[in-house]
Amino acid sequence: MQKDKILSMLGLARRAGRLSMGHAAAIGSIRSKKAKLVLVCAEISQGTKKDIEFTVNKFSPRTPVAVADIGVDEIYFACGYKAGVIAVEDENFSNKIVSLLSE
């Protein structure tokens, strides 16, 4: 996983307005079927992870959920917003982030 490249992609997506950051915003994005990828920080509690996975399975089962080894503080420095759950709403950004996560 290339942490710096993932964080820079998240920063670009944030500036493009293609991220829903935070638990409630991500849930709203999943329910409206806008989310193309849901990125969950490793620091997030198991209850929050289960809630996100349940919501994805119920409303948008094709949306991938990725647990990244990225901290909330690192996301804050890259995007300017402290969030442990991020929904990426752009297909190209999500494809690039998934490919970077698999490396």
> The domain that contains 66 carries what CATH number?
3.30.1330.30
- Report residues of the chain scoring pLDDT below 70: 1
- What is the β-pairing status of strands 37-41 and 65-68? parallel
**Whose structure tokens read 């996560």?**
101
- pTM of the entire predicted model: 0.91
What per-residue confidence (pLDDT) applies to 44?
93
Phi, psi values for residue 4, rounded to 5°: -65, -40
How many domains does the chain contain in total? 1
Site of tokens 């647990």:
67
pLDDT for 14 equals 96
Q: What is the pLDDT of residue 1?
A: 65
The residue segments making up the domain with residue 62 are 3-102
pLDDT of residue 103: 84
